[in-house]
Amino acid sequence: MRVVTSERELRGLGGCVCVPTMGALHAGHASLVRAARAAAGAAAPVVVTVFVNPTQFNDAADLARYPRTLEADAALCHQSGADAVFAPPVGEVYPHGRVVRVPALPAVATEPGLEDRWRPGHFAGVCQVVARLFEMVSPAAAVFGQKDWQQLQVIRAMTAQERLGVEIIPGETVREHDGLAMSSRNRFLSAADRAPATALSRALAVAAQERDACGAEKLMLDTLRSAGHRVEYAVVRQAETLGPITRAGDRGRALIATRLGDVRLIDNAAW
Ligand code: PAF
């Protein structure tokens, strides 16, 4: 497996299955790389991108403390079946003097009450870097985790809207033994906050038992607040558009974002 840092070194890897990441990889990412390997078969290469994208952070402190662990990331990618890691410096993705276009934001990015309310501008940065990485890597398909459910819908919509010709493959969420969804940010949880962090998966499980959307939202709020979370949202929405549930037959998704100490946690599940 190769680690490359420039667009030039990607020659010959076009038509690959790509796994875009910001590094600090864990078992959840390993599962995405294995899904990419399965989708690629023997013929196409698997390329993992590792790039901490500055344009999607709206908090400079969050960007500064984002873990950078390239050597361990490359080892995990190798073990999970990747052919190459593309870890470009900022200047390769955003060359000085070149305007890197921000694709038009699909409506699902700005659904009221979700990520845009709490991280304004975040999805503009995500769409910009994903479109740019696709331009550099030229993948046939790309795998994105379902843990970032709204991001997955935004990228699907943006890829279709911009006619980027990349198939978007959803990857499973991997959980710790006690239900906590794996995330690069879990390492920042204090010892005291580790057990209360499981309230997200518990809240989603409780919501799944309640047939009324408002009732499910109240149950999630109660579960999260009683475990000491500051809740940003705990809602049930239509699974693809993320608009409100309007019909009994709508496919639903329960989505949560909270803060525990100074760590932001998100999770979601089918509803
Ligand atoms: O989910 C992530 O890690 C990032 O948002 C992504 C998709 C790699 C873009 O920087």
Residues 77 and 131 in one domain: yes
Query: Using an 8 Å Cβ cutoff, are 242 and 157 in contact?
Result: no
Give the domain-ending residue among 171, 194, 225: 171
Confidence of residue 188 (pLDDT cuts 50, 70, 90): very high
Q: What is the Cα–Cα distance from 228 to 197, expressed in whole angstroms?
A: 9
Residue 178 inside a domain? The answer is no
Residues 107 and 11 in one domain: yes
229 lies in which domain range? 184-270
The mean of the pLDDT values for the chain is 97
Q: Is 168 in the pocket of ligand 1 (CB under 6 A)?
A: no
Cα of 218 vs centre of ligand 1, distance in Å, is 30
Nearest CA to ligand 1 atom 9: 126
Give the domain-ending residue among 115, 140, 171: 171
Q: Residue 25 is encoded by which pair of tokens?
A: 């990889």
Cα of 127 vs centre of ligand 1, distance in Å, is 9
Number of domains into which the chain is organized? 2
Q: What is the mean pLDDT of residues 206-217?
A: 96
Q: What is the Cα–Cα distance from 179 to 71, expressed in whole angstroms?
A: 28
Task: Could you list the beta-strand ranges (E) of 89-140.
Answer: none
Give the helix, strand, coil percentages of the chain, each rounded to 5: 40, 20, 35
Residue 104 inside a domain? The answer is yes
The closest alpha carbon to 27, from 180, 201, 176, belongs to 176
Q: Tell me which amino acid residue 200 is.
A: L
| Ligand 1 atom with least separation from CA of 184 | 3
Residues 22 and 100 in one domain: yes
| Distance from the Cα of residue 43 to its chain's centroid | 27
Residue 152 inside a domain? The answer is yes
Residue 29 inside a domain? The answer is yes
Residues 8 and 55 in one domain: yes
**Active-site positions?**
29
Residues 8 and 130 in one domain: yes
Q: Residue 256 is encoded by which pair of tokens?
A: 């949560």
Q: What is the mean pLDDT of residues 22-38?
A: 98
Express each pLDDT in 37-59 by its tens digit. 999 999 899 999 999 999 999 88
Give the domain-ending residue among 120, 142, 171: 171
Q: Is 181 in the pocket of ligand 1 (CB under 6 A)?
A: no
CATH number for the domain that contains residue 17: 3.40.50.620
Residue 176 inside a domain? The answer is no
Q: What is the mean pLDDT of residues 154-172?
A: 98
Is the pLDDT score of 192 beyond 90? Answer: yes
Is the pLDDT score of 240 beyond 90? Answer: yes
Which of the listed residues 148, 169, 173 should we mutate to test ligand 1's pocket, taking the one with most ligand atoms within 8 A of CB?
148
Length of the chain: 271
Cα of 9 vs centre of ligand 1, distance in Å, is 22
Residues 10 and 141 in one domain: yes
| Ligand 1 atom with least separation from CA of 56 | 10
Cα of 34 vs centre of ligand 1, distance in Å, is 18
Residues 228 and 143 in one domain: no
Q: Is 24 in the pocket of ligand 1 (CB under 6 A)?
A: no
Residues 31 and 121 in one domain: yes
Express each pLDDT in 91-116 by its tens digit. 999 999 889 999 999 999 999 999 99
Q: Residue 9 is encoded by which pair of tokens?
A: 């070194």
| pLDDT score, position 248 | 83
| pLDDT score, position 247 | 87
Residues 105 and 238 in one domain: no
Residues 135 and 251 in one domain: no
